[in-house]
């Protein structure tokens, strides 16, 4: 999963020769993948040489990526796409959950636009999977989901109530006076020790909530509850946070994989994210806000930190150059050595200055303009 912090750090990186490589890959591994990378490294080498770098220096810059060609383990642990960033002898590898088009770019900053479609920022959400025997917190986005380590949280009712061997033995003989027995009685609707059991359950979910808040650092990202109604309803009563979705994933989630939970939860949160994108699109088209819809003007606005939100087409490129000293952006009819995608420049500087970037398919652009930015001033 790609975090906004990762992308912002890449956007802030700079050097004389920053190499960005994107390629589709196979999750199960394929002989085609290292061959594809080898070809892309050759293309990167050629571009570096065309920019005036000597071949031995180019080979040294690309060496961290070249070493990956012989790493069987690396190629066995891929997603559907791969991004490599090389600069000053260092490499950053990012496995992507979605396919990307082949691309090699060499400039003073990294090329980030293909990465933006996978950023878990505006589309970040959590799933809390609750059951008597297991508690899991997962973080996901449109493409992927992974389990987090909950901080100081009981992962089951047994652990929460800390039964000793004697209590377990009593329960095994049918006693339901304490601990899990009375919780189970309440959970299944029996009257025996119901008040005490409800108190145990309340303490259990309260402890979970504290752990969730600590792990997510109080993030306002949507939280989807997965579990049987009795437990999820109690969690809602104990913790009425506004970012907890009204609807959740019903049923016992113990045997659901992270991908299964993501697939079930995504339709519940997608309208929230689409609403944010739609609101920014309406602001762009309303005529009530200052906007920039020409590439050159948007580049300057992004560099100056004036963009609040911007739409850029992922697959479209506008190659050219930008000189910060003179605030001059120049489009080139054909790509030249050292050129940057000016749409990528817009996205990068918008991120650096805390703006929102919507990297979308061309068909999803709010208008037919090459870029659409809503300005702060």
Could you tell me the pLDDT band of residue 369, with boundaries at 50, 70 and 90? Answer: very high
What pLDDT is stored for residue 122 in this prediction?
A: 61
How many CB atoms are closer than 10 A to CB 225? 25
Could you tell me the pLDDT band of residue 183, with boundaries at 50, 70 and 90? Answer: very low
Q: Which range among 159-163, 246-250, 345-349 shows the weakest confidence by mean pLDDT?
A: 159-163
How many CB atoms are closer than 10 A to CB 287? 7
Q: Locate 271 and state its tokens.
A: 């309208």
Could you tell me the pLDDT band of residue 277, with boundaries at 50, 70 and 90? Answer: confident
CATH 3.40.50.2000 matches 1-121: no
Q: Give 214-247 pLDDT, tens digit per residue.
A: 887 767 789 999 999 988 998 998 777 788 999 9
What pLDDT is stored for residue 120 in this prediction?
A: 54
Fold of domain 125-267:
Nucleotidyltransferase; domain 5 (3.30.420)
Task: Inform me whether the pLDDT recorded for 300 exceeds 90.
Answer: yes
Using CA atoms, how far residue 362 sits from 157, 247, 260, in Å, is 50, 32, 30
How many CB atoms are closer than 10 A to CB 56? 8
CA distance 7 to 71: 26
Could you tell me the pLDDT band of residue 173, with boundaries at 50, 70 and 90? Answer: very low
Report field, pTM of the whole predicted structure over 0.75? no
According to DSSP, the residues that pair with 84 across neighbouring strands are 21, 93
Of the candidates 267, 163, 91, which has an alpha carbon nearest to the alpha carbon of residue 176? Answer: 163
Task: Inform me whether the pLDDT recorded for 111 exceeds 80.
Answer: yes
Task: Inform me whether the pLDDT recorded for 95 exceeds 50.
Answer: yes
Task: Inform me whether the pLDDT recorded for 177 exceeds 70.
Answer: no
CA distance 80 to 124: 19
With tokens 């589309």, the residue in question is 123
What pLDDT is stored for residue 224 in this prediction?
A: 97
Half-sphere exposure of 103 (CA within 13 A, CB side): 25
With tokens 């699109």, the residue in question is 281
User: In the chain, what are the domain boundaries?
Assistant: 1-121, 125-267, 286-377
Using CA atoms, how far residue 285 sits from 135, 309, 361, in Å, is 45, 13, 18
Half-sphere exposure of 267 (CA within 13 A, CB side): 6
Q: Give 24-63 pLDDT, tens digit per residue.
A: 999 877 899 999 999 999 999 999 999 999 999 999 999 9
What pLDDT is stored for residue 161 in this prediction?
A: 64
Q: Whole-number mean pLDDT of the chain? A: 86
Q: What is the average pLDDT across 309-331?
A: 95
271: exposed, middle or buried (C-beta count within 10 Å: 0-12, 13-18, 19+)?
exposed
Query: CB-based contacts of 278: which residues, under 8 Å, 6+ apart?
Result: none
With H, G, I as helix, E, B as strand and everything else as coil, classify residue 237.
Answer: helix
Sort strands 103-107 and 18-24 into parallel, antiparallel or unpaired. Answer: antiparallel
Among 3.40.50.1000, 2.60.120.620, 3.40.50.880, 3.30.1330.30, what is the CATH number of 286-377? 3.30.1330.30
CA distance 235 to 240: 8
In the chain, % of residues over pLDDT 70: 88
């Amino acid at each position: 999963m790609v975090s906004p912090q990762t992308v912002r750090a890449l956007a802030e990186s700079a050097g004389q020769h920053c190499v960005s490589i994107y390629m589709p890959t196979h999750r199960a591994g394929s002989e085609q993948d290292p061959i594809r990378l080898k070809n892309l490294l050759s293309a990167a080498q050629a571009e570096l040489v065309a920019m005036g770098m000597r071949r031995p220096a180019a080979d040294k810059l690309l060496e961290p990526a070249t070493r990956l060609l012989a790493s069987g383990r690396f190629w066995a642990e891929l997603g559907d796409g791969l991004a490599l960033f090389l600069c000053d002898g260092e490499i950053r590898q990012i496995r992507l959950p979605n396919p990307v088009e082949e691309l090699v770019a060499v400039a003073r900053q990294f090329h980030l636009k293909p990465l933006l479609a996978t950023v878990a920022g505006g589309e970040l959400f959590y799933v809390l999977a609750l059951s008597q025997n297991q508690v899991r917190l997962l973080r996901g986005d449109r493409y992927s989901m992974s389990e987090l380590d909950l901080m100081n949280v009981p992962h089951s009712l047994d652990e929460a109530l800390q039964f000793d061997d004697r209590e377990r033995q009593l329960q095994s003989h049918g006693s339901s006076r304490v601990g899990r027995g009375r919780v189970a009685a309440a959970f299944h609707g029996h009257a025996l020790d119901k008040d005490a059991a409800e108190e145990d359950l309340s303490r259990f979910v309260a402890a979970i909530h504290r752990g969730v808040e600590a792990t997510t650092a109080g993030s306002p990202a949507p939280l989807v509850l997965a579990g049987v109604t009795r437990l999820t309803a109690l969690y809602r009563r104990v913790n009425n946070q506004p970012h907890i979705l009204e609807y959740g994933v019903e049923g016992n989630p113990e045997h659901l994989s992270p991908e299964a939970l993501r697939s079930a939860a995504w339709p519940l949160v997608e309208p929230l994210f689409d609403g944010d994108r739609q609101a920014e699109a309406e602001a762009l088209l309303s005529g009530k806000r200052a906007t920039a819809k020409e590439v050159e003007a948007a580049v300057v606005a992004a560099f100056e930190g004036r963009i609040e939100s911007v739409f850029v087409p992922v697959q479209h490129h506008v190659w050219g150059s930008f000189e910060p000293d003179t605030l001059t952006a120049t489009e080139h009819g054909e790509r030249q050595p050292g050129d940057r995608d000016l749409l990528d420049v817009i996205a990068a500087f918008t991120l650096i200055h805390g703006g929102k970037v919507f990297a979308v398919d061309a068909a999803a652009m709010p208008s037919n303009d090459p870029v659409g930015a809503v300005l702060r001033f």
